[in-house]
Each structure stands twice: as structure tokens, then as C-alpha cells.
């Protein structure tokens, strides 16, 4: 439940206008072309032993009215950042030493939140391997407390818009 609250807080804080720069805001990725949308990346602390890495990309136009898509490639071994964001539906594709725009990027129509999950996938980490969650058919088929809390929050938010 704590992890769901942190991700929800993260999503809400991206839309808050402040005179201070957001500490997770990306000014520009190396080799990135100029764009008119904002990007953020950083860590969501699960507990004092684990943290999940995220990459958030605003919708190209009118991000306040666009939906939020939570992208989870899953794991182990399948990075939401490396595969989802930079090979499938993110705003950029690597080409040599530069990034080029992906003309089919989903952030043309939605705010995109790429989450490296479970802990141990991509840039997400644990300070102790005993805190890794086993991934098997049973675990994959059962919703986690995080997923349940996030879905409940999103459904509640939709009803109160």
C-alpha cells in the first residue's frame, strides 16, 4: 500500500506548477532533439531496502486533460525503460549516438509513466537480494497490493473529475 501511495504521489506531483524546479525533471537527454513536453525520472522508494525507477513523459499537447498510461514491461529481465520507452512506444528511438523522435509515440495522446518493476529489473534495485520477490505463474496471475491500490485510486479519481 505504501508503494501505491508513493506512485500516486509521484503522478500527482508531475502536474503541480511550482516556481521551484522539480528535482526529477530532465532538462534534456543526451543527443535528444528539442521537444515541447516535459520529462521526469527518478526513484520511488518502496521501503528502506527497495526502490523502483520511473520515467515519466508528458503528453505532447494539453497534458492536464490527457489520460495517464502506466507502462509495465515486467520482468525479470524485461525493462520498461529499455524496451518499452526506447524501443516500442516512447518519444525517442536511439540512432547511433543521438535520439530521434518516434512518430508513433504514445505520448502524442497520453501521459506515459514507465515503471521498472519488479525490484531488480532495469534500474530498480534492492540493497539485499533477500527482498526480491519471486516471479512465477502464481505471482504473475495474482494482483499485487500495489496494483489493487493503484487501480482503486484511479477509478476513484475518474469518478470525481
pLDDT mean across residues, the chain: 78
* Host domain of residue 97: 1-7+38-131
**Number of domains forming the structure of the chain:** 1
Distances (CA, A) of 124 to 18, 50, 74, 90, 111: 28, 8, 12, 19, 21
Instruction: Determine phi and psi for 145, rounding to 5 degrees.
Output: -55, -35
CA end-to-end span of the chain, whole Å?
23
- Residue 117 in any domain: the answer is yes
Specify the pTM.
0.75
Q: Does residue 12 sit within a domain?
A: no
**Per-residue pLDDT tens over the stretch 63-102:** 999 999 989 886 666 888 888 999 999 999 999 999 999 9
Would you put residue 42 in left (φ > 0), alpha (ψ -120 to 50) or beta? left
Q: Is residue 17 part of a domain?
A: no
| Residue 20 located in a structural domain | no
- Region 17-39 average pLDDT: 85
**Would residue 157 count as lying in a domain?**
no
CATH number of the domain enclosing 90? 3.40.50.1820
Whether residue 75 is contained in a domain is answered as yes
Q: What is the pLDDT of residues 124-141, one digit of tens each?
A: 888 887 666 665 555 555
Alpha-carbon span 117 to 124, nearest angstrom: 7
Q: Return the higher-pLDDT residue of 102 and 46.
A: 102
Amino acid at each position: 500500500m505504501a508503494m501505491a501511495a508513493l506512485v500516486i504521489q509521484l503522478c500527482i506531483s508531475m502536474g503541480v506548477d511550482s516556481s521551484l524546479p522539480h528535482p526529477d525533471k530532465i532538462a534534456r537527454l543526451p543527443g535528444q532533439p528539442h521537444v515541447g513536453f516535459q520529462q521526469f525520472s527518478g526513484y520511488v522508494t518502496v521501503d528502506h531496502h527497495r526502490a523502483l525507477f520511473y520515467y515519466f513523459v508528458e503528453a505532447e499537447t494539453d497534458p492536464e486533460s490527457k489520460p495517464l498510461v502506466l507502462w509495465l514491461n515486467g520482468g525479470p529481465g524485461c525493462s520498461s525503460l529499455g524496451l518499452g520507452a526506447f524501443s516500442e512506444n516512447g518519444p525517442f528511438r536511439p540512432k547511433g549516438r543521438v535520439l530521434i523522435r518516434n512518430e508513433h509515440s504514445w505520448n502524442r495522446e497520453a501521459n506515459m509513466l514507465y515503471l521498472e518493476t519488479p525490484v531488480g529489473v532495469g534500474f530498480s534495485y534492492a540493497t539485499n537480494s533477500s527482498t526480491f520477490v519471486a516471479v512465477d505463474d502464481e505471482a504473475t496471475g495474482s494482483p499485487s497490493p500495489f496494483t489493487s491500490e493503484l487501480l482503486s485510486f484511479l477509478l476513484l479519481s475518474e469518478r470525481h473529475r
